[in-house]
Amino acid sequence: MSVLSFADARHLLNRTGFGAELDAIQQLNQQDRQQAIKKLLAAPRNFRLPTPKLHDFQTLRAMRKTSADAKMAAKQQVRKELKQIKLWAIDQALQNPNALQEKMTWFWHNHFTSSLRSSMRSAELLMGQTQLIRQHALGNFADLLRAIPYDPLMLVYLDGIKNVREKPNENFARELLELFTLGEGHYSEQDIKEIARAFTGWRLHGKTGKVFLHKKSHDTGTKTVFGSSGNFNGDDIIELLLQHPRTAEWIAEKMWPVFISLTPPDKAVIQQWANAFRTSGYDISTLLQAILTSEVFWHPATRATLVKSPLDLVIGSMRAMGLAKDKLPLSALNLQLRRMGQNIYLPPNVKGWPGGRSWINDTTLPFRQQFLRNISRGMDKNHDDAGMMSSKRMQNDLRIHKLPTLASNYWEQWLLPQGATTETANKDPHLYLQALLLDPTYQLK
């Protein structure tokens, strides 16, 4: 029986969520490792904050047809609602007791990449995709893969609505293979062309925003993909991909820099994970169990090897410091994510955020450090520190909060994945806590 130490519990929670809350660490401390992982994966997934009220597709369409002023008003309304969705998502990540669900939701958003800019017709498109990914984040990858080609936002983002029999558009087919399922080098250009033909004809209804198949625009001819021939449609292609051994391997490989390290993945370990994933029928929890129970996840050499993303740093710090339940200025947190390079729902390109070491550079590091200074010292309500929390307020001064009940000689174990790199000893507990947050090691997990 392997029992979790305090540091083990912190490691498990930091890698599977956003931050490691002290109460959660203490609950796992000295528990059986297998049981702790099982409990983590079985946590309830039904937490939902009330979603923003959005104008429906048809109402916005009618507004655009009324006048130039109404058209502009509709555009402004959509922009306002898209921002509301972003703030809702940040709040959801702060409040959800199941941090693993939030982590995996954002993993899949970065895997099945799209952009809120493609949702300018109606914010419902972004909200719909968000709910789809959230629904399957810890569920079944096969079900998510079957649904994503017909997601309205994805159809717009990757030009699926322009993919017609007379002139197939290859954008979605290429990303389906390169980014979503197989990875480069495991398909041919001819496979892309044939798969594009299989997905022809899907449109977005002009009045309702619903997806439908325009039969006259769909190619019903024989296609040859991965050496198999038939009158394949999009659903058939997805099933071929799920039968392809490379699909499970590719997803397993994508998990390595999320849960293990930034070094090249161990091929033997990836194969073990992929086999478990494929055998389970692509159950995501089964894959996560294989990852979290693997020796490499717990090996000392793979600790403190991952760079915290802006979501990790901002949301994780708020949760770990006990600030997540406070009335927070969500717009200010959104601003911090943008300044640190993670403008949520707006990845840099179709490949998403590269992550890893790219999160820290000469531009983003000062913002990361300033954010940590501010949450650890608080701000006067009328003070605006480089727009950190705008002029509204940041009333979450740790000096006026109850300090952690944990003995201070354990704070370093709680907050840092390895020993501090700078001198942190300080008689003032508030200054000591700030020193730990500002230590370079706090940027890692």
The answer to the question of residue 298 being in a domain is no
> Residue 382 contacts by C-beta under 8 Å, 6 or more apart in sequence?
391
Averaged pLDDT for residues 382-390:
43
Pairing of strands 228-230, 211-213: unpaired
Q: What share of the chain is helix, strand, coil (3-state, %, to 5)?
A: 60, 5, 40
Task: List the beta bridge partners of residue 228.
Answer: 225
- The verdict on 37 and 116 lying in the same domain is no
pLDDT in tens, 389-417: 443 444 444 343 668 888 888 999 999 99
pLDDT value at position 404?
84
CA dist., res. 254 & res. 352, Å (int): 12
CA dist., res. 158 & res. 176, Å (int): 10
pLDDT in tens, 208-226: 999 999 999 999 999 999 9
- The verdict on 35 and 161 lying in the same domain is no
The answer to the question of residue 119 being in a domain is yes
- The verdict on 320 and 233 lying in the same domain is no
- Phi, psi torsion values for 234, nearest 5 degrees: -60, -45
Count of all residues that appear for the chain in the document:
445
Averaged pLDDT for residues 25-49:
97
361, exposed or middle or buried, with CB in 10 Å at 0-12, 13-18, 19+?
exposed
- The verdict on 158 and 230 lying in the same domain is yes
CA dist., res. 436 & res. 425, Å (int): 9
pTM to 2 decimal places? 0.95
Domain boundary at 243, 258, 285, which? 243
Give me the percent of the chain exceeding a pLDDT of 70.
Answer: 94
- The verdict on 12 and 106 lying in the same domain is no
- The verdict on 38 and 104 lying in the same domain is no
Domain boundary at 196, 227, 243, which? 243
Averaged pLDDT for residues 82-100:
97
Q: CA distances (Å), 139 to each of 101, 142, 327, 415, 424, in order? A: 10, 9, 31, 31, 43
CA dist., res. 22 & res. 146, Å (int): 39
pLDDT in tens, 316-341: 999 998 887 777 789 999 999 999 99
pLDDT in tens, 108-150: 999 999 999 999 999 999 999 999 999 999 999 999 999 999 9
Higher-confidence residue of 387 and 196: namely: 196
CA dist., res. 19 & res. 320, Å (int): 5
Say how far residue 106 (Cα) sits from the centre of its chain. 1
Biggest CA pair distance of the chain: 76
CA dist., res. 223 & res. 118, Å (int): 30
Pairing of strands 223-225, 228-230: antiparallel
Residue 24: give the domain boundaries: 1-42
CA dist., res. 280 & res. 257, Å (int): 22
Q: What average pLDDT does the chain have?
A: 93
Q: Is the pLDDT assigned to residue 106 strictly greater than 50?
A: yes
pLDDT value at position 429?
86
Q: Which two tokens stand for residue 162?
A: 């322009």
pLDDT in tens, 227-270: 999 999 999 999 999 999 999 999 999 999 999 999 999 999 99
CA dist., res. 168 & res. 196, Å (int): 6
- The verdict on 237 and 167 lying in the same domain is yes
Domain boundary at 199, 224, 243, which? 243
Averaged pLDDT for residues 190-207:
97
- The verdict on 186 and 213 lying in the same domain is yes
